Amino acid sequence: MRTLPKIVSWSLVLLAGCKGVHHGTGEDWRAYGGNDAGNRYSTLTQIDTGNVATLKVAWMYNASDSLPAGQRPREIECQPIVVHGILYGTTPTLKLFALDAATGKQLWKFDPSAKAQGYNSMSRGLNYWEDGDDKRILYSAGANLYAIDATTGKPVTSFGAGGKVDLHTGLENDRFDIKDLAVTATSPGVIYKDIFITGSTVSESGDALPGHIRAFDVRTGKLRWTFHTIPQPGDTGYNTWPKDAYKKIGAANCWAGLVLDNKRGVVYLGTGAPAVDFYGGDREGMNLFADCEIALDAVTGQLKWYHQLVHHDLWDNDIPCPPNLVTVLHNGKKTDAVAQSTKDGNVYVFDRDNGTPLFPIEERSVATTGLPGEHPWPTQPYPVKPLPFARQIITDADLPDSTLFPDAYRFAKAQYSELQHGAKFMPPSLQGTLYIGISGGAEWGGSAADPGGVLYQNASEMPWKVKMVDLATSLREATSHGQSLYITNCSSCHGVDRKGGGAFPNLVNIGDKLSADDIRGILASGRGRMPPFQSIPEWDRANIIRFLLNKEGAAPKGGIASRETAAPRDEHSETIATSAKSAPADFPYTPPYIRGRGGKLRDSSGYPAIRPPWGTLNAIDLNTGDYLWRVPLGEYPELTKRGVPPTGTDNAGGPLVTAGGLLFISGTEDEKIRAFNTHTGKVVWEYQLPAGAFATPITYSVDGVQYVVIAAGGVRNNHKPGGNYIAFSLP
């Protein structure tokens, strides 16, 4: 481990405006993705293919939070930034900290917990802005956007209200109060001059706020402009929805992050599906600007161009990561382009100025028989090139190898025989449908791109089972008011049977892990991907708690007064309207069909119930649209010992590419970080982390030393918790 320099007085360092840690020359990692173009690329070459095998741990920072007894630890998805030799990152509970980037020594920490509204979500990155001595970190925690002095760690009181802006700003409507509805920003925005531009994370259910793109003044926090992702009268795209759909349909949000062309003054982004997921009977039409690649003027928010990648989304097929700004050789001419990877394993490449596709995109006919009242769009776009980096459909040929995995084969065969499968864009059904790509393909970790126009993309290949249920029938069959409330508000994620699936926990025996008070806190404030349910009256939240704890005959601990205790309802249909008193009768929007069962389809051993590969790393030449190489990403050691070739694993987080010919990536279920040779795709270094690192690494240099840093938070997919930021350098 590198010897750490002696620190004389950190109080003097802070008083000096952190000048004491402004280490000579170096290269920073100043933005999410490394730069405004989001390319996750560094020109540093000290660490290269010839010496990477000697990398050692330089320092380790413990970012773990103290949690109440019994509370489940949270993962870290943060890709930190480094500016002027100072590293800024977040803890699992979104405390913001500053470290000396050469030593890992903490300089300050800011705790938003007592000030944050809404739920404690993830933080995937931060923004930095400076003007002379005015240096600020902008980041989101709960429903607040904070401006924190980068030198002292104190809120910038001239920004918004005492250093924060409510992220509900710009989403208001004249129908009801939205203050109790969920909004945050899991991914950072971008800053153009003195304008901060951001997307948001909102609910995916019937209480979803609209996902409008907004710009705020970096200095004051005042709203500068709003772009309506669900168009209002007079907006482009308004006629792609039923009349006044914007009054009750939400989402179509950019939760994955944005990139910026500073020269053009244009911001590029991708949006997600409209609410609600998996049913669109009340939103007939193409539904612009959901699932769109969009270019906006950074100063005015004016639409420059757009391209919709999924029409009338019924599959939760959000654009899951920021695009990459690249320059490629197209038809013999250098062309500035924007490349977008998707959940379903495609890469779209557009001219940066006008949105013209650089490779052909075909509109092909797809199935149009959906649930009653549904209106599936008759065609969907298929990019001809590059070829998909993940499989598009699941057929019997994708069954696990019956020799190597006989139990998995039998399990998958039984599932396949009862579920619809074998075609892309099949509408969800009551029978149940087998999909791939709902959780990637690409995901929020994004991709990296080098100056030569090569895109590096990691991919997961995980089958999903989606089985819809008739909400009215489920409510009639419910045996209690609490069960009715659960079905209406919770089952679309956790299933009517409470068994969850994928990223959604099994709640059957939730009382073994959480108390009534714990659950009450989660319903009120949310946790991780789960939004708060503050729009549900407290007495109804109490009934949900009783149902989950199988104690509907007694009041939960804490004795919340409930009108249901005195007069239980017999008509479950009354429970559908669970919004705040000020909301109209048609909000929250309640679809007649919801995703009641399913999730990630794993076999009895926990492996994806398909034939490998289950995770890959891909190098794609965007000049030609051809693949340079494709290799498995990750392995299961127990299978390797059996002689099974590396299968790859489900993975989260993204790649980092350097001019030293290296690609660094973690995110695999074997809890390793690896370096690949970018020319060959071969692993040239790997390190067993103390916990899984489901984040994206960064690199920077301080005083001539190059570092690679990764946040190893663990937790995801039932991995052990971690909480460390780990820095590597040459010995």
- Cβ-based neighbour number of residue 683 at 10 Å: 17
Give the span between the Cα atoms of 210 and 275, in whole angstroms. Answer: 9
Instruction: Kindly write down the DSSP assignment for every residue of 429-469, as one continuous string.
Output: -SS-EEEEBTTBSS-TT-EEE-TTSEEEEEEE--EEEEEEE
> What is the average pLDDT across 184-204?
96
pLDDT for the residue numbered 615: 98
The first and second tokens of residue 17, run together, are 């405006």
Over residues 264-306, the pLDDT tens digits come to 999 999 999 999 999 999 999 999 999 999 999 999 999 999 9
Q: Which amino acid is at 432?
A: G
Distances (CA, A) of 367 to 54, 342, 379, 428, 616: 54, 21, 8, 11, 29
- Cβ-based neighbour number of residue 110 at 10 Å: 22
Over residues 344-402, the pLDDT tens digits come to 999 999 999 999 999 999 999 999 999 999 999 999 999 999 999 999 999 999 999 99
Residues 235 and 213 sit within 8 Å (Cβ to Cβ): no
pLDDT for the residue numbered 67: 74
pLDDT for the residue numbered 525: 65
Q: Is 303 helix (H, G, I), strand (E, B) or coil?
A: strand
The first and second tokens of residue 185, run together, are 């920003």
The first and second tokens of residue 461, run together, are 């290949």
Q: How many separate domains does the chain show? A: 1
Q: Which amino acid is at 659?
A: A
What b-and-e string marks burial along 485-524, b requiring 16 or more CB atoms within 10 Å of the CB?
bbbbbbbbbbbbebebbbebbebeebbeebbbebbbbbbb
623 domain residue, yes or no: no
Q: Residue 476, Cα to own-chain centre: how many angstroms?
A: 35
Structure confidence at residue 70 as a pLDDT band (50, 70, 90):
low
Over residues 476-526, the pLDDT tens digits come to 888 888 888 887 778 777 878 887 765 677 888 888 877 887 788 777 666
Residues 293 and 266 sit within 8 Å (Cβ to Cβ): no
Q: Evaluate if pTM is beyond 0.75.
A: yes
486 domain residue, yes or no: yes
Give the span between the Cα atoms of 488 and 484, in whole angstroms. Answer: 6
Over residues 684-717, the pLDDT tens digits come to 999 999 999 999 999 999 999 999 999 999 988 8
Kindly report the length of the chain.
731
562 domain residue, yes or no: yes
pLDDT for the residue numbered 610: 96
717 domain residue, yes or no: no
pLDDT for the residue numbered 330: 96
Report the CATH number that the domain containing residue 511 is assigned in CATH.
1.10.760.10
Give one word for 545, left, alpha or beta, with left for phi > 0 and alpha for psi -120 to 50.
alpha
- Cβ-based neighbour number of residue 327 at 10 Å: 17
Among candidates 219, 124, 213, which has minimal Cα distance to 163? 219
Distances (CA, A) of 461 to 109, 343, 449, 521, 681: 38, 10, 22, 34, 19
Q: Which amino acid is at 665?
A: I
Strand 106-110 to 127-131 pairing: unpaired
Say whether pLDDT at 116 is over 70. no
569 domain residue, yes or no: yes
* Percent of the chain clearing pLDDT 70 (strictly above): 89
Give the span between the Cα atoms of 644 and 277, in whole angstroms. Answer: 37
The first and second tokens of residue 428, run together, are 């969800």
Q: Dihedrals φ, ψ of 481, to 5°?
A: -65, -40
Mean pLDDT of the chain: 89
Over residues 611-667, the pLDDT tens digits come to 999 999 999 999 999 999 999 999 999 999 999 999 999 999 999 999 999 999 999
Distances (CA, A) of 445 to 145, 530, 629, 695: 22, 20, 20, 7
CA pseudo-torsion sign 111, 117, 118, 122? negative
> What is the average pLDDT across 396-416?
93
Range of the domain at 533: 467-596
**CA distance between the termini of the chain:** 7
* Percent of the chain clearing pLDDT 90 (strictly above): 73
- Cβ-based neighbour number of residue 67 at 10 Å: 13
Give the span between the Cα atoms of 708 and 699, in whole angstroms. Answer: 4
Residues contacting 588, CB < 8 A, separation 6+: 205, 206, 207, 535, 577, 578, 579
Residues 356 and 293 sit within 8 Å (Cβ to Cβ): no
Over residues 529-554, the pLDDT tens digits come to 676 676 677 778 888 888 888 887 54
The first and second tokens of residue 566, run together, are 């005195």
Order of all β-strands in the sheet with 144-149: 127-131, 134-141, 144-149, 164-166
Residues 270 and 286 sit within 8 Å (Cβ to Cβ): no
The least confident of 160-169, 456-465, 494-503 is 494-503
Among candidates 717, 664, 656, 713, which has minimal Cα distance to 689? 713
350 domain residue, yes or no: no
What b-and-e string marks burial along 639-659, b requiring 16 or more CB atoms within 10 Å of the CB?
beeeeeebbbbbbbbbbbbbe
Say whether pLDDT at 229 is over 70. yes
The least confident of 224-228, 257-261, 584-588 is 584-588
